Amino acid sequence: MSFFRSVTALSKLRSRLAQQSSTLGSVRWIQIQSASDLDLRSQLQELIPEQQERLKKLKSEHGKVQLGNITVDMVIGGMRGMTGLLWETSLLDPDEGIRFRGLSIPECQKVLPAASGGEEPLPEGLLWLLLTGKVPNKEQASALSKELQSRSTVPDCVYKAIDALPLNAHPMTQFTTGVMALQVQSEFQKAYESGISKAKYWEPTYEDSLNLIARLPVVASYVYRRIYKNGQVVPADNSLDYGANFSHMLGFDDPKMLELMRLYVTIHSDHEGGNVSAHTAHLVASALSDPYLSFAAALNGLAGPLHGLANQEVLLWIKSVVKECGENISTEQLKDYVWKTLNRGKVVPGFGHGVLRKTDPRYMCQREFAKKHLPDDSLFQLVSKLYEVVPPILTELGKVKNPWPNVDAHSGVLLNHFGLTEARYYTVLFGVSRSIGICSQLVWDRALGLPLERPKSVTMEWLEKYCKKSA
């Protein structure tokens, strides 16, 4: 049996899982790992038949069970609240926030392996958890880290594709171009063209997914150094873990920044399947497009101002507050500035969420990190004031279901503190992180044989006629 980092944490986790096993089906197969089981792929090979049978039974016994009613509001309102997608790796509760295979963010911080001398969870550990539903031990996380390093070589054609773009192209444009260029080495495409059996689709998907996850920090750091550091590339340090090495290649080696990057990648990795980037990847992959094509599509969704680009907008807005009002802004001045923003027909970036109805746990763990490592940072103090000021104003406005801060409200301030000040680049960090959740689910999409996604669409005329008949 493997060991969690503390017996207390283990006993608490077992107790909680026992209490919630009836409500969180995926939790029932979270297990403790054997120290000898270091091969992630072999772990999956053992799990897949069981989960295939589970899905088959679910479909045969409960396929006709209704999950709710579809309203006109849902059809014309972005399908909000409509249950229509299977996503195994995480589940978002409006009140509790995200759970990765049944584990909350604070629980992941307690039980997932950390770097030697560190406290924040290793992204490699979360990747293992998302793929297998099992909490890895340090040996397994370390083995996966080494495997990702062995897969991280990026072909020259990728750099050439990026270099063909002007330097002023948005970092996400350059990043997505690099991902598309990586596609020339897709194992799934080769296997499909060779006539691989459907039952084995998951195998080249797994290979592509791990290769993609491994190479993204290299591509992302190249984009950063090309745009902002005169193209002076920092070589990888294979003695470092995934998050720390990413920070190092960007040019940041402060131990606290390494810890921040581990935390950042972990908490941004997955947020169930209905958000734009995750759903896009699932949709495109359902056509049997390989993980590179699917993830590139996801990145294009992530680049939108209403999705991943929001973390860029938050820092820019906060700096605009400082520019206009100064760093020592009073609470009343801040209230006035917030109202001025809203009265201009704009939003306060970083507040509200499509599903959550309480403060985002991802915001809270970043806040705790800041309180520990940068309590006197002026922008952090401003973010803290916003946490007090904005929710009551949005509540008074009466148009917002969730007035509380989300993950984007805090991440930029942390990155800015350690020197990563280029806000236009922040969505690239988000993209690297999101690959862990998306690619994990893509492996299971193919392992479970999930079909082509094809919902029904209707016209306004159809809706009008249907509603008249139903009246």
* CATH number, domain with residue 184: 1.10.580.10
pLDDT at 107: 95
pLDDT at 17: 40
pLDDT reading at 6 higher than 70: no
Asked, for residue 1, whether it belongs to a domain, the answer is no
Mean of pLDDT values over 111-115? 97
Residue 79 and residue 308: Cα distance in Å, rounded?
19
Domain holding 357, by residue range, is: 310-418
Q: Is 432 found in the same domain as 349?
A: no
pLDDT band at 356 (very low <50, low <70, confident <90, very high): low
Q: Report the number of distinct structural domains present in the chain.
A: 2
Q: Is 198 found in the same domain as 174?
A: yes
Asked, for residue 299, whether it belongs to a domain, the answer is yes
Q: Is 283 found in the same domain as 174?
A: yes
Check 170, 248, 282, 307 and give the catalytic one: 307
Q: Is 272 found in the same domain as 162?
A: yes
Check 248, 353, 410, 417 and give the catalytic one: 353
pLDDT at 178: 98
Say which CATH number the domain at 366 has: 1.10.230.10
pLDDT band at 355 (very low <50, low <70, confident <90, very high): low
For 462, phi then psi, to 5°, come to -60, -45
Average pLDDT over the chain reads: 90
pLDDT at 469: 94
Q: Does the annotation mark 408 as catalytic?
A: yes
pLDDT at 12: 43
pLDDT reading at 8 higher than 60: no
97 forms beta bridges with: 93
Asked, for residue 64, whether it belongs to a domain, the answer is no
CB 443 within 8 A of CB 44: yes
Mean of pLDDT values over 423-452? 97
Asked, for residue 59, whether it belongs to a domain, the answer is no
Q: Is 180 found in the same domain as 161?
A: yes
Q: Does the annotation mark 307 as catalytic?
A: yes
Q: Is 276 found in the same domain as 174?
A: yes
Asked, for residue 7, whether it belongs to a domain, the answer is no
pLDDT reading at 34 higher than 70: no
Q: Is 342 found in the same domain as 231?
A: no
103 forms beta bridges with: 100
Mean of pLDDT values over 7-16? 42
Q: Is 148 found in the same domain as 258?
A: yes
Q: What is this structure's pTM?
A: 0.89
Q: Is 327 found in the same domain as 211?
A: no
Check 37, 270, 290, 408 and give the catalytic one: 408
Q: pLDDT digit string (tens) for 201-258?
A: 999 999 999 999 999 999 999 999 999 999 999 999 999 999 999 999 999 999 999 9
pLDDT at 316: 87
Asked, for residue 4, whether it belongs to a domain, the answer is no
Three-state SS sequence of 208-230: HHHHHHHHHHHHHHHHHHHHHCC
Q: Is 378 found in the same domain as 438?
A: no
pLDDT band at 186 (very low <50, low <70, confident <90, very high): very high
Q: Is 277 found in the same domain as 162?
A: yes
Q: pLDDT digit string (tens) for 286-335?
A: 999 999 999 999 999 999 988 888 778 888 888 889 988 888 888 999 99
Mean of pLDDT values over 59-76? 95
Q: Is 259 found in the same domain as 156?
A: yes
Q: Which amino acid is at 453?
A: E
Asked, for residue 70, whether it belongs to a domain, the answer is no
Residue 105 and residue 93: Cα distance in Å, rounded?
12
Q: Does the annotation mark 279 as catalytic?
A: no
Q: pLDDT digit string (tens) for 117-139?
A: 999 999 999 999 999 999 999 99
Asked, for residue 455, whether it belongs to a domain, the answer is no
